[in-house]
């Protein structure tokens, strides 16, 4: 049996992560990589709908925050452990994703994008008025004392996030080259034609929105334990949304590797700029990169590499 290079890379990444938790002592590194991994999951999730299926979701921050607030509510109510919270966050957001999927029946293109943005604001207003999870004041979360065999809680969170990110990338990769993925691509290129050719468009769209929602919920669920204080403003941050859109666009939306490249590249750059210069500048640079890439290289980095390769072959 031949082992594909992808799984070798996955094993290598996980091993490196474990080694990293054993060696590195400075907690900042775990904070930084956690943020990058979280952005990776968001980017990969956005790309399943935005890149593969061609529906733009502006409400990513809404999904993320619902995942985080599910986690707050459940840990406050019953004190569930982290894996259960992650599962619950994913499940709740998958349901919302399913609902969004039914929206695509009536709303196409621009209208869908605006409706998702609207949905995020509606959720934000609901959370603002829901005092059980802190309302507009926000909620404090105590990190549990237990953290398996890791030296600190953040190290464990980092490892959890790494595993989740790897899982999401693997799912996205499997989807990209599967029969399902081709159906999604057909919807993206021409929905009516796909429907006529016998592609079950509604079912595929529902699968893709549900999967996207689940991934974003999973990314959001550990967030309260990471920051220990969540208020609606930080959870529904538009910066989360712009990152989730900018990273796949910069990396390239048509291939599963695009959002991963974009997230790693932009995420690392953001961490460096935030530490060395300022966090406002970092938002500005992401905005400029997004606009520049969309206007000059709409296929992203993956597209540039492809173009370069095909030119060399000729």
Partner 1 sequence: MFSLDLFANAIVAGLLLGGFYAAVTIGLAIAFGQLDIVNIAHPAFVIVGSYIAWIVNTRFGIDPVLAGLLAAPLFFLVGSVIYRIYYAAFERTGQESLSGLAFFFGMMFIIEVVLILAFGVDYRLVSAGYVGATIQIGFVGIPLRMLVPFGVATLLTLGVYLYLSRTFMGRAILAVAQDRLALQLMGADPVRVKQFAFGLAIATAAVAGSLLIIIGPVEPSVGRQYIGRVFAIVVLGGMGSIPGMFIAALVLGVVESLVASFMGPSWAPAVAFGVLLLTLALRPSGLFGRA
Two structure tokens written together for 43: 């980017």
Return all residues near 104 (Cβ < 8 A) that are at least 6 apart: 55, 112, 205, 209
Q: Select 45 or 88, whichever has its Cβ closest to partner 1.
A: 45
Cβ atoms 180, 52 nearer than 8 A: no
Question: Taking the chain, what is the end-to-end CA distance rounded to the nearest angstrom?
Answer: 35
Which residues lie near partner 1 (CB under 8 A)? Answer: 50, 54, 56, 58, 103, 106-107, 109-111, 113-115, 117-119, 121-122, 124-126, 128-129, 136, 238, 242, 245-246, 249, 280-281, 283-284, 286-288, 290-291, 294-296, 298
Which of 259, 272, 261, 255 shows the shortest CA–CA distance to 306?
255
Smallest separation (angstroms) from partner 1 to the CB of 246: 7
Q: Select 19 or 105, whichever has its Cβ closest to partner 1.
A: 105
Smallest separation (angstroms) from partner 1 to the CB of 39: 16
Two structure tokens written together for 309: 């390769």
C-alpha 175 chain-centroid distance = 16
Smallest separation (angstroms) from partner 1 to the CB of 236: 11
SS3 of the chain: helix, strand, coil, percent, to 5: 80, 0, 20
Two structure tokens written together for 138: 């926000």
Smallest separation (angstroms) from partner 1 to the CB of 123: 9
Smallest separation (angstroms) from partner 1 to the CB of 69: 16
Q: Select 114 or 202, whichever has its Cβ closest to partner 1.
A: 114
Q: Select 56 or 68, whichever has its Cβ closest to partner 1.
A: 56
Number of C-beta neighbours around residue 314 at 10 A: 5
Q: Select 196 or 281, whichever has its Cβ closest to partner 1.
A: 281
Q: Select 117 or 260, whichever has its Cβ closest to partner 1.
A: 117
Exposed, middle or buried by CB within 10 Å (0-12, 13-18, 19+), for 37? Answer: buried
Smallest separation (angstroms) from partner 1 to the CB of 291: 4
């Amino acid at each position: 049996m031949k082992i594909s290079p992808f799984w070798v890379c996955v094993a290598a990444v996980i091993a490196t992560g474990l080694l990293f938790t054993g060696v590195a002592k400075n907690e900042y590194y775990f904070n930084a990589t956690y943020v990058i991994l979280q952005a990776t999951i968001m980017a990969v999730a956005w790309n399943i709908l935005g890149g593969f299926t061609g529906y733009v979701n502006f409400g990513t921050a809404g999904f993320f925050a619902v995942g985080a607030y599910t986690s707050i509510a459940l840990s406050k109510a019953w004190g569930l452990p982290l894996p259960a919270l992650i599962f619950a966050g994913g499940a709740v957001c998958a349901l919302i994703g399913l609902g969004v999927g039914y929206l695509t029946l009536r709303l196409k293109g621009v209208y869908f994008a605006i409706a998702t943005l609207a949905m995020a604001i509606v959720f934000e207003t609901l959370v603002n008025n829901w005092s059980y999870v802190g309302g507009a004041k926000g909620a404090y979360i105590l990190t549990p004392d237990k953290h398996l065999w890791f030296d600190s809680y953040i190290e464990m969170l980092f490892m959890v996030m790494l595993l989740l990110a790897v899982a999401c990338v693997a799912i996205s990769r499997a989807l990209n080259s599967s029969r399902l993925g081709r159906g999604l691509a057909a919807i993206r290129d021409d929905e009516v034609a796909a429907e006529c050719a016998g592609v079950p468009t509604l079912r595929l769209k529902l699968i893709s929105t549900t999967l996207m929602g689940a991934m974003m919920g999973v990314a959001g669920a550990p967030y309260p334990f990471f920051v220990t204080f969540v208020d609606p403003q930080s959870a529904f941050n538009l910066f989360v949304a712009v990152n989730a859109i900018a990273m796949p666009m910069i990396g390239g939306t048509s291939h599963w590797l695009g959002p991963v490249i974009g997230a790693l590249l932009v995420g690392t750059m953001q961490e460096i700029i935030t530490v060395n210069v300022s966090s406002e500048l970092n938002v500005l640079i992401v905005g400029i990169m997004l606009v520049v890439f969309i206007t000059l290289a709409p296929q992203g980095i993956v597209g540039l590499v492809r173009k370069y390769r095909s030119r060399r072959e000729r």
